[in-house]
Structure 1
Amino acid sequence: MPHHLMNLRHVPDDEADEIRALFDAHDVRFYETPPSRWGISMGGFWVHDTDEANRAKALLHEYQRQRMESQREAYEARRLSGESGGVWQMLRHKPVRTLAACVAILVIMGLSLLPFIRI
């Protein structure tokens, strides 16, 4: 029976490539189904054998732990250098775009709540 190892929806290409290389380096016999264009099917990495699934899950767990640490370090480096920030930084660097997005959010919220406010 197939064992689903990982969902590929919203997975960046570099991460999927690294996982493929990891499985190839450790001779994990896996197959891959791509996510659908409209997001109906999830796609993912699969294996047939239970023992192979356990081994692959252990490899994935360690890989994801290392990736999380490296991504956190990269985010901190971008944040400290001023490349990444919050709403205030977006407002400072792109005020028109940020204000337009806020107005659009308020309009959508108002239109969505209008039927309930009239009751």
Structure 2
Amino acid sequence: MPVLLFRLNNVPDEEAEEVRRLLDEHGFDTYETRVGFWGLGVAAIWLRDDAQHAAAREVIDRYQQALGERVRQERHELDALGQAPTLWRRLMRHPFRVLLLTAAALAILAISVLPFLGLID
């Protein structure tokens, strides 16, 4: 019976491709499903033989552990160089976007709160 092995929701294409390649290299029999037009499906990689689930899960877990360590290392290197993304750097890089998002958040807050402030009088 097929078993869900790896969800593809919000997974970068590079990571999904690496997982596909890794599963292929280890000889696991997998197939993919897509979300579909209406978004009712599950975007995932499925394992056809549930007897291989523990081994496949171990391969993916090792990959994700290594990926996490690599990303953390890259982050530390950016921190050391003073190039890590921060709120201030994003503000300086995209001031108009930050201004628009702040204005939108304030407008939503005002629309949400104003009816209750009118009830207090």
After superposition, the CA RMSD in angstroms is 2.1
- Identity percentage over the alignment? 33
TM-score normalised to structure 2 length: 0.82
The equivalent of 1:8 in structure 2 is 8
Task: Say whether the 8 Å CA contact 2:33–2:43 is kept in structure 1.
Answer: yes
The equivalent of 1:71 in structure 2 is 71
Task: Say whether the 8 Å CA contact 1:8–1:35 is kept in structure 2.
Answer: no
**Per the alignment, do residues 110 and 23 of structure 1 end up closer, same or farther by CA in structure 2, a change over 3 Å counting?**
same
What is the CA distance between 1:98 and its match in structure 2? 1.5
SS at match of 1:46: strand
What is the CA distance between 1:37 and its match in structure 2? 4.8
**Per the alignment, do residues 79 and 113 of structure 1 end up closer, same or farther by CA in structure 2, a change over 3 Å counting?**
farther
What is the CA distance between 1:51 and its match in structure 2? 1.8
Larger C-alpha radius of gyration, 1 or 2?
A: 2
1:5-26 C-alpha deviation (Å, 9 max, x unpaired):
1111111110011011101110
For structure 1, list consecutive stretches of 5 or more residues without a partner in the other structure.
none
1:24-54 C-alpha deviation (Å, 9 max, x unpaired):
1100111111233554323101112222111
TM-score normalised to structure 1 length: 0.83
For structure 2, list consecutive stretches of 5 or more residues without a partner in the other structure.
none
